[in-house]
Amino acid sequence: MEIKKASKLDPKENLIFLITNEKELPITSFTKEELSFIKKELKNEQKQVEINRLNTYVFVVLCDKENDYKAAEKTRIAASNLLTTLNSKKIVSATVVGETHKITPFVEGIGLANYQFLKYFSDKKINTFNKLNYYTENKSDNIKEMEALVEAANFAKDLVNEPLSFLTATQLSKEIKNLGKNYGFKVEVLTKAKIEALKMGGLLAVNKGSIDPPTFSILEWKPAKVKNKKPIVLVGKGVVYDTGGLSLKPTPNSMDMMKCDMGGAAAVIGAMVAIAKNKLPYHVIVLVPATDNRPGGNAYVPGDVIKMYNGKTVEVLNTDAEGRMILADALSYADKYQPELVIDVATLTGAAANAIGHYGVVAMGNTPEKTMNKLKESGNNTFERIVEFPFWDEYNEQLKSSIADLTNLGNGAGGAITAGKFLENFTNAPYIHLDIAGPAFIKKQINYLSQGGTGVGVRLLYDFIKNY
């Protein structure tokens, strides 16, 4: 969707007015009859008022009077609701008018909601609405920044929605390389031979049952002037498809949607796209370990002991706890950069999804409280809200093995937390773990959250790093 700033209002264009009360109605833009109708509808508690001028439409959208994150979310939802109307009427373009703090979330909401993944349809039913102009009297705005962020989030959705028949680990690395060329960040891809040479035992173990090789992608953004002396490292789980391995998943409501198990990788890749396009002054490194997890003839098995990249040994109790195995190697690899902060993002546990559903992101870590509070604030700003779980050392008791340094599975209680505590063993940096298993993939569209991949994490990470 094209988004442009309008220098003036075109009376021949479809118009969208964002207001908080009837006093904000631009009376010169309406006839007396139209004003009377609008005021009547608003008194009847209508949030969206429509005027058909035969050749054009005018919409009035009532926004929340507050200027906070809750009001911004209501505006995103209002934009999504209006988009349904715009497409139903086969409207191609419109100009939105209002104050910047209203227009920004409106653009965000309509841009996210208008996403479609149509690649595999033979008969493509494309949304008609594809151009949004915006007009504001505010001297400064961040709409172009928001446009880039929406673009990045929608690209992350594409990655999540792609099936394994296309998006193997190798293809994922190719997509990353293309993005690097287009957006100006560096990309290095480690092939299987290099991964073997580095002895990344976790990634190699998960890959043993696959016919396709693993990859390990390294993305770097470092502009000439940066605010951070040491890099921020983002790590994304890149399991492009997860059968559970020999600990096979049931198909209904489980394996049938496991193309989404690289939602963490999509999130950090999308965040890097937005960071580079908007040229944030921060040194950021993204690591993406990628493979599928299949029950092939050579697959790793429950009971195996795996030596990881950092030398620690892991007793495998469940091959479906594979995400933490590949993330562990990536977290250890991150130590070479001496980062000031490491954040991993993963569709890691059903426990996280069961705990809070699709309504938020589960977070835990060992960083100072102020860092986690900044992340929570970004969660509110983007409405990818953070629920912080405890990270007590007592959970380490569940990870003890009789034959190795660690097991890859707790005893069932606090499963999301034991997964995070497992990963903590593989990094020496201040660390935050984000489990996006709940919101990363949904079966039915919810407001501006698209059916399938939602792109969750992209906007959250971008906002956090922007305000770091």
Pairing, β 406-407 against β 313-315? parallel
Q: Residue 365: what are its φ and ψ, rounded to 5°?
A: 170, 180
What the block records as the tokens of 321 is: 């706890």
Whether the CB-CB separation of 287 and 216 falls below 8 Å is answered with: yes
Rounded distance, CA 176 to CA 172, Å?
Answer: 6
Six-digit token pair at 287?
Answer: 């690591």
Strands 431-435 and 48-52: unpaired
Residue 389: C-alpha distances to residues 343, 352, 372, 373, 419 (Å): 15, 10, 11, 13, 12
Among the listed residues 305, 369, 347, the one whose alpha carbon sits nearest the alpha carbon of residue 433: 347
What tokens were used for 185? 């960040």
Rounded-to-integer distance, Cα 298 and Cα 28, Å: 74
Handedness of CA 372, 373, 374, 376 (dihedral sign): positive
SS3 content of the chain, % helix, strand, coil (to 5): 40, 20, 40
Q: Distance (Å, rounded) from C-alpha 273 to C-alpha 447?
A: 24
* Rounded Cα gap, residues 105 and 73, in angstroms: 7
Of 176, 153, 167, give the one whose Cα is nearest residue 455. 153
What ranges make up the beta strands (E) of 76-141?
93-97, 131-135
Rounded Cα–Cα distance for residues 278 and 153 (Å): 14
Q: Are 460 and 382 in contact (CB under 8 A)?
A: yes
Active site residues: 249, 324
Residue 257 has a CB neighbour count (10 Å cut-off) of 15
104: amino acid identity, one letter: T
